Amino acid sequence: MSAPVARRAPYKDFLQPALQRRFAGTAGIILLLAYVESLTLSRWNSLIWSWFPLGLPGLRALAIFLSVLPLIILRIAHSHMGIRTSNSVFETLWKTAFRFSTLETILTYIISAFLFSQIYLKSTPEDAGLRWIAYASNRTRLNEHALFYTVNLLVLGLVQSVIHMVVDMNRLILGVVDDKPADGDGDGNERNAATPSDTETWAAKIGEWTPILMVRCGVLAITVAMANYIFIYHFVRMVAWRSSLWFLRPFYELPKANLPSSGAPWSVWMLGRSIWASFLLSLLWYFGEVAFRVQQTREPLKRGQPLSSESRDPNGSLLNGLQSKKPRISAFAMWELAFIARDYTTRRQSIFEDIDRRDGPMWSQIYGVCLGTVQSIERRIDEYGKAPTPTPVTEPAVAPTQPRERTSQPVKANDVSAPRPVNKGALLADTVSKLVTSPGRTPVEDWSPVVKKRVGQVADRILTQEQREALRIEALRRQAGALVVRALALPIIGPLFQQTFGRRFAKAVLGAPYAESSVYINAAYALSRLAAHSLVEDKYGNVQRDVPAIIRTFTAVINRLEAFRDGFPAHWTDLSLSRRCQEVSEVLVALKDGLNVLLTEFGPYSGDLRLSRADMRLAREAAVIAADERQPEMQQRRRQRRQQQQQLG
């Protein structure tokens, strides 16, 4: 029996330093890329000072890095766990458009683009003619070339901010733990440290995405530059010109004329340079985004060991993270528990032997948290479609007022004065009001049959039979429905308004406004694998008492989820007619996989566990995995999809 443990440190005390180190790694990647871009802007008129980091290239790289740093800070402030859940894309955009965070995102991108544009213009040589002030014939004038470049990058920032919100670049998708095949020396899941494949370096992941990011940045830069070159700058030219004059006049002696030159100052040469500047800025944004996403969603491991291993009370710190109300902390703690259930024999044994805690044994508390996470799916299914229960409002008790004592005699109730004069105008208005609002027959009702008959006769004389059929309510409804269906079938506009089965089902099962499926997958994995390993590692036999409840709960949730999926209605706007929801399917497969493990390990002991034949039969029926879900290539496809969600929006 283990001795009483000391006060446990919060799990966030170990998670936050790890996330801060990963943020420093993200900043280092961006700084390195900024230095490379700084070298592309060097004039190369010196063999050493054109690249020396402590010279002008280093200062330029630092300035470029500072222009992108606000976006990384924005990602930290706005990041959330899981995907956005809503009935349609339009509903998501409608809710997102009017938030302060949206305005904050747009302003941050525009500020970043403006800072980078000024650094780029300042780094160009004098003979390029890209300074804000030009001198010709001893006259100072505003150079519209610099204005064109600045407007182009500001438009790029606006477009990228919209892309950021539409594809939800603020989301963080955590990984899941699955079984690894045996390596020939025994069980592949028996070890005390994670293998290198589990702790894949961020550099390898970013290297895989480098070609894709280069193509994306190139397409974005060319599209925005061409749009600005062809028509956008024509509309904003006057406003941009006058704003620039207003800002620069206090510093330079500029002419009083507020009109730009009549001829267009841009050319194909300027278009090429604007594409290059947009490409450099897009690279910083996208590489910073991917680096941040990859770093912040790395496994909760440090040097091959769980983060909580550094605590004086590792189990207590892990339990603190599992019970946290903050989604990020609880999700990372659940992920770490799944790693422990698979890879760390010593930590598993410490969980089984830790029975002297104030709130109960360590296993019992982990069992309660994981089982509650799985049961929350069933609870959401039960609550689907029901009106939210109003919270009772308790009115404050009002102290009864004591009647005051009379100081004089009461007023007489009989008539002591003449009756009030009758207002004939008010009496007439009251009579007309009663006549109008009375529920009886009105003259219009007497005339309505005659009017309807006359209208029908006129319609029969003027309109043809096809026209009369087309004016019926049913025909109008059919025509309106056909128009709506055609609009929903349009390539770009239609998907915005379609309420697909996958989106609606994910919202109903996983919750709103965000849903992180990895929490449920890792909870099912950790609970089933800890129970399976307890046959050998639990010397006190505490786990076997909870195995029947785990099997029955998994069976009930699987059956309820499948029945809910089969009976879930499709919306009339869903033209795809697909009844697949990838996020919920992954959770369902994880539950079935965990139930299969429990049936395999504890099936021979079902009688000792007081599991009836009906319980075992229902569990085996629920644990059947479809053929397409059982195939290894399908599982590999799901893992690749989750990795893509982790790295890109």
pLDDT for the residue numbered 134: 79
pLDDT for the residue numbered 54: 84
Minimum mean pLDDT among 103-112, 477-486, 572-581: which range? 477-486
Let me know: does 75 contact 170? Beta carbons within 8 Å.
yes
pLDDT for the residue numbered 551: 94
* Alpha-carbon gap, residue 333 to 18, rounded angstroms: 13
Q: Does the pLDDT at position 46 exceed 80?
A: no
Comparing 410 with 610, which gets the higher pLDDT? Answer: 610
% of the chain with per-residue pLDDT over 90: 40
| Core vs surface per residue 216-237: b (16+ CB within 10 A) or e | bbeebbeebbeebbeebbeeeb
- Average pLDDT of the chain is 81
Q: Is 138 left (phi over 0), alpha (psi -120 to 50) or beta?
A: left
* Alpha-carbon gap, residue 586 to 600, rounded angstroms: 21
* pLDDT tier at 245, thresholds 50, 70, 90: confident
Spatial neighbors of 615 by CB under 8 A, at least 6 apart, are 548, 551, 552, 555, 606
pLDDT for the residue numbered 522: 95
> Which pLDDT tens digit goes with each residue over 520-561?
999 999 999 999 999 999 888 889 899 999 999 999 999 999
Q: 449 in helix, strand or coil?
A: helix
* Alpha-carbon gap, residue 164 to 170, rounded angstroms: 8
Minimum mean pLDDT among 83-97, 464-478, 578-592: which range? 464-478
Instruction: Write down the pTM of the prediction.
Output: 0.80
pLDDT for the residue numbered 41: 86
> Which pLDDT tens digit goes with each residue over 454-475?
656 565 666 666 655 555 666 6
The residue-averaged pLDDT of 600-625 equals 89
Let me know: does 565 contact 579? Beta carbons within 8 Å.
yes
Q: Does the pLDDT at position 60 exceed 80?
A: yes
Comparing 177 with 392, which gets the higher pLDDT? Answer: 177
Element (H, E) at 81: strand 80-81
Comparing 139 with 192, which gets the higher pLDDT? Answer: 139
pLDDT for the residue numbered 432: 44
DSSP 536-596: HH-SS--GGGTHHHHHHHHHHHHHHHHHHHHHPPPPTT--S-----HHHHHHHHHHHHHHH
Comparing 83 with 442, which gets the higher pLDDT? Answer: 83
The residue-averaged pLDDT of 480-491 equals 77
| Core vs surface per residue 358-385: b (16+ CB within 10 A) or e | eeebbbbbbbebbbebbebbbebbeeee
Comparing 476 with 358, which gets the higher pLDDT? Answer: 358
The residue-averaged pLDDT of 480-506 equals 82
The residue-averaged pLDDT of 233-253 equals 86
Minimum mean pLDDT among 278-287, 314-323, 421-430: which range? 421-430
Domain range annotation of the chain: 15-174+208-296, 303-385+496-647
Minimum mean pLDDT among 90-104, 197-211, 447-461: which range? 447-461
Beta pairing, strands 171-172 & 80-81: parallel
Let me know: does 344 contact 40? Beta carbons within 8 Å.
no
Q: Does the pLDDT at position 638 exceed 80?
A: no
Let me know: does 615 contact 602? Beta carbons within 8 Å.
no
| Core vs surface per residue 613-648: b (16+ CB within 10 A) or e | eebbebbeebbeeeeeeeeeeeeeebeeebbebbbb
Q: Does the pLDDT at position 4 exceed 80?
A: no
For 530, other C-beta atoms within 10 Å of its C-beta total: 25
Spatial neighbors of 425 by CB under 8 A, at least 6 apart, are none
Minimum mean pLDDT among 26-35, 196-205, 634-643: which range? 634-643
